[in-house]
Structures are given as C-alpha cells and as structure tokens.
Amino acid sequence: MNQDQSSSRTLVLPRLYVIADAEMLASRGIELRRFAEELRDAGVTLLQYRDKRAGEEEVLRNAHLLTEVFRGTEAVLVMNDFPALAQQAGWNAVHVGQEDAAVVEARSLLGPGGIVGCSTHNDEQVRAAEAVGADYIAIGPVFSTSTKLNPDPVVGLEGVRRARALTKCPLVAIGGITPENAASVIEAGADAIAVIGALLRSGADPGTLVQEFLEVMPLTVPPQ
C-alpha cells in the first residue's frame, strides 16, 4: 500500500472517504471482510476503520483483516482514535476527534511520515487543527445524521465554505451526505466527502453505492 504522503502540502485525497463503522456493520449483519472486499472491488482508496466498543485485541485483528483485503492496492487505511494501535497494525494514518488522542500525540507515535486527520465542528476547531499540524481536517456534520448518538450541531454548506476559507489543509466533509447532495458539498469547497451509513442502504450493495457517489461528484474543486 502506498501511504507515503507526509504533509498537508502534498497530501491529495480521493473524492470518497469511506468509514467502516464496526458497530453499524454489526447492527445490519454485514461482515467486515465482505464489506471491505466490495469497497476494494469498487475502487475505494481511502478507508477509515472505526470501532468505539471493541477491545484492543479485536481492533487489531480487524485491522490485520483490512490490511489483507487491501494488500496490493493503493489504498490508505486510517485508524480511528487509536494512534498506538495504528502503529501496531503497520498503518501510518490515524484520525482523531476533539475528545480523542491529540494530533500532537498521534504525530509523535506515527512520525513525520504519518498522516493525521482531525474532526472539527466549528471555526475555532478548524483553526486549532491546522495550527497543531493536522494533515487533513474533517468538518461536520454538514447535514443531519443518524450515525452518532449525540451528534454535534449541523454546520451546513456554509460551514464547509467557512472551513475552506480558514484552512489550506485538505478538507473532508462528513455528516448526512448522500449521492443527491454530494456534488453541492464538493462545490462548497470540500476536497473529499466521508460516508458511513450512506453505503449501508437496505437492498443495495456497497460497491454499487460507491459508484453512485463517484458518478455525481465533480472531478476538480472549483477555485475559492
């Protein structure tokens, strides 16, 4: 896997950033391996693994499973919350939230070649994430979402525009994004969109839904 990007100045994100949430997959009876294989076959090259409840041993076991599935591809695998586990899994990318391990801590564990992303929900957090050296910044929720029990206030497309004006870091928009509204989010200034529940729609396979997203998003970000 090619995970050699080392700074926000050179990091180029694919349009689609998929988050594999272990709890959501389990609640729908979807096996992680099958889900990952469908994403791989559909061309997904940026995947975050998120598991808020499992112990370290299970998280590492699933990380190794994802490594196996995506071996030989250009995919970047991102560990949510746990920089130490990312290091143990042989991944060099981690995503932290406002209450998770700090960007600085993650950087110290992964080293200068690691990729560290940070969740933000308002202008102040966007500024702070850039100041401490996040390689990319996630902003959201853009729209109403049901993937978190206690979601932060919706920032809307205007929140994406403000975040774009505040940072030169690659910007990932998250929260309630669907094929129907994805293009508007990119047009507002996001470099990529992160999706979770939108790929778990009943009656449709994840690979087909990935293609729906890719078909509606413009290929380039309009100048700001």
Please tell me the predicted confidence (pLDDT) of residue 69.
98
148-164 mean pLDDT: 89
Query: What's the mean pLDDT when you consider all of the chain?
Result: 91
SS (H, E, C) the chain: CCCCCCCCCCCCCCCEEEEEEHHHHHHCCCCHHHHHHHHHHHCCCEEEEECCCCCHHHHHHHHHHHHHHHCCCCCEEEEECCHHHHHHHCCCEEEECCCCCCHHHHHHHHCCCCEEEEEECCHHHHHHHHHCCCCEEEECCCCCCCCCCCCCCCCHHHHHHHHHHHCCCCEEEECCCCCCCHHHHHHCCCCEEEECHHHCCCCCCHHHHHHHHHHHCCCCCCCC
What tens digit of pLDDT does each residue of 58-80 get? 999 999 999 999 999 999 999 99
Model confidence at 200: pLDDT above 50: yes
In this structure, are residues 1 and 76 in contact, taking their beta carbons and an 8 Å threshold?
Answer: yes
What tens digit of pLDDT does each residue of 80-113 get? 999 999 999 999 999 999 988 799 999 999 998 9
What tens digit of pLDDT does each residue of 107-143 get? 999 998 999 999 999 999 999 999 999 999 999 999 9
Supply the pTM of this predicted model. 0.92
Q: For the chain, which domains are there? A: 16-116+172-216 (3.20.20.70)
Residue 133 makes CB contacts below 8 A (sequence gap 6+) with 8, 103, 104, 107, 116
Q: Is 129 exposed, middle or buried (0-12, 13-18, 19+ CB in 10 A)?
A: buried
Model confidence at 192: pLDDT above 70: yes
Query: pLDDT-based confidence at 2, cuts 50/70/90?
Result: very low
Residues serving a catalytic function are 50, 119, 148
